[in-house]
Chain A
């Protein structure tokens, strides 16, 4: 099929891809707006498909919660994260982990 025949479809195909990614990016657990708001705070740096600052979408709840608590307690070293994690309660860190675990890995 010539490429030109593809173009009318392309924007819609792209839109479908984009919505799919966003549904994953913003979580299935839309009822929990408190956790959604906390997780949105993390998304300034943590985006799907990135690795230098890792994506959190679809991570194991236990692993993520454990890591966040370790940053908070000072048993896990880092640059920014130990400083940020100390600003949240354990319950808030757990809510963040729960929220990201419920999103789809992109």
Chain B
């Protein structure tokens, strides 16, 4: 029997089976060590794929993901503009399954770190030697007065790609010409620092073509543009002159979904036709349940050599959920890089090999200004043994000199490549 067939059979055996009391029993399939990954985004899918590639027969990998397919946040602002469709940014998990990852379409609802088991919403229970949590973000809706369940159906965030992206696109399509689309940005740190500004460009590009009297209003909870500032400001003052207006120091405190009004700590109220509220964020809910959130009730501190929680042994945390190192963005590319360092470290630990003492990370992030031109920011991060964190390498990294179609082609190529890298 060849190695892939053996691994596929093991993966099938790894799927949870339901015992008499509704509990599942797993394990007992030889000597392979068990990695369970919760969350199949840029961090988790990458960790699952690389742990499988690098672990060989010594490691069984299970991925628990609540959605049937991966939907990319990067490029999803182009879905709002209508130059791409939601199917263009949706990729199935089939290749990961073929590789031998046991993909379970369910939601992890509880972690028992002492017994090293994950409880799933449908009742199954999966055991692990090492757990990887890559749960993305959750929102502090209750920090914005009036943003209750009903209001959330109108005041969308679209900050997790999927149904919200499609719904916000419909709101933009339904908005009358001459209307105002307002984007509320939370205080940093939040997922994807340049994302809201890219969104403003994409909405403006759509309005120019479909409803040219309309406006995009950026209501930033920060004192200034958080990423690619000069490049975005140039786009707003040239290509989207008279369409995009930027207002700093707009910390959102309340909303009225009936009158479409936003209230702020210090600034005047704003009324809009479509109000896109990106609320303050924290690590995903399962991280809170697992007890790995350690900073400000928001983020999870990790040992940067292994991405293991500093609080709970055996649990590794990746991606947007972590308390980042200096100048490390909460980006999909960075989560993908976390996934590889963590996969290598976990496989090493489970197979009695030394952990890489000098890991490196890089980040490349493209923002699309219109349907074909993009800008980038790039950085390189080296582990510093003395400070036990990643630091950017002096003299490295940087930004585009100007938006260009060439960088747009690279941006689309980046997406194709990283989706292959994480999903196969």
Q: Which residues of A contact B (CB under 8 A)?
A: 11-12, 14-16, 18-19, 22, 26, 33-34, 36-38, 40-41, 43-47, 50, 52-53, 79-80, 83-88, 92
Q: Is the CB of B362 within 8 A of A87?
A: yes
Of B337, B364, B393, B417, the residue contacting A50 (CB under 8 A) is: B417
A-side binding surface: helix, strand, loop or mixed? helix
B-side binding surface: helix, strand, loop or mixed? helix
- Assuming A50-B413, A79-B410, is B360 touching A26 (CB within 8 A)? no
Alpha-carbon distance A34/B392, docked complex (angstroms)? 19
Q: Is the CB of A79 within 8 A of B420?
A: no
Q: Is the CB of B98 within 8 A of A84?
A: no
Q: Which residues of B contact A (CB under 8 A)?
A: 2-5, 8, 50, 53-54, 95, 98-99, 333, 336-337, 340-341, 344, 348, 353, 356, 358-362, 364, 376, 378-382, 392-393, 395-398, 400, 406-407, 409-410, 412-414, 416-418, 420-421, 424
Of B50, B358, B413, the residue contacting A34 (CB under 8 A) is: B358
22 contacts between A and B (CB under 8 A): A12-B5, A14-B98, A15-B4, A18-B424, A22-B53, A22-B99, A22-B424, A33-B348, A36-B344, A37-B340, A44-B362, A44-B418, A45-B417, A45-B418, A46-B417, A47-B421, A53-B414, A79-B400, A79-B407, A80-B410, A84-B364, A84-B380
Kindly provide the distance from the CB of B383 to the nearest chain A CB, expressed in whole angstroms.
11
Kindly provide the distance from the CB of A46 to the nearest chain B CB, expressed in whole angstroms.
7
The closest CB in chain B to the CB of A20 belongs to B4
- Scoring B5, B362, B393, B410 by chain A CB atoms within 10 A of each residue's CB, the highest score goes to B362
Of B8, B360, B396, B410, the residue contacting A38 (CB under 8 A) is: B360
Of A12, A18, A37, A83, the residue contacting B344 (CB under 8 A) is: A37
Kindly provide the distance from the CB of A75 to the nearest chain B CB, expressed in whole angstroms.
16
Alpha-carbon distance A46/B398, docked complex (angstroms)? 19
Q: Is the CB of B376 within 8 A of A80?
A: yes
Q: Is the CB of B4 within 8 A of A47?
A: no
Alpha-carbon distance A47/B422, docked complex (angstroms)? 11
Closest 6 CB pairs of A and B: A87-B380, A87-B396, A52-B413, A87-B393, A86-B396, A83-B398
Chain B residues with Cβ under 8 A from A87's Cβ? 360, 362, 379-382, 392-393, 396-397
- Additional pairs, 10, CB under 8 Å, beyond known A33-B344, A79-B406: A11-B98, A16-B2, A43-B421, A44-B364, A44-B418, A45-B417, A50-B416, A52-B413, A83-B396, A87-B362
- Assuming A16-B4, A79-B406, is B380 touching A45 (CB within 8 A)? no
The closest CB in chain B to the CB of A80 belongs to B378
The closest CB in chain A to the CB of B356 belongs to A37
Kindly provide the distance from the CB of B365 to the nearest chain A CB, expressed in whole angstroms.
10
Q: Is the CB of B340 within 8 A of A53?
A: no
Alpha-carbon distance A16/B2, docked complex (angstroms)? 9
Chain A residues with Cβ under 8 A from B362's Cβ? 41, 44, 84, 87
Of A12, A14, A19, A86, the residue contacting B395 (CB under 8 A) is: A86
Alpha-carbon distance A11/B340, docked complex (angstroms)? 27
Of A14, A19, A36, A53, the residue contacting B410 (CB under 8 A) is: A53
Of B95, B396, B400, the residue contacting A84 (CB under 8 A) is: B396
The closest CB in chain B to the CB of A22 belongs to B53
Kindly provide the distance from the CB of A2 to the nearest chain B CB, expressed in whole angstroms.
24
- Assuming A18-B99, A87-B382, is B421 touching A79 (CB within 8 A)? no
Chain B residues with Cβ under 8 A from A34's Cβ? 356, 358
Alpha-carbon distance A69/B5, docked complex (angstroms)? 42
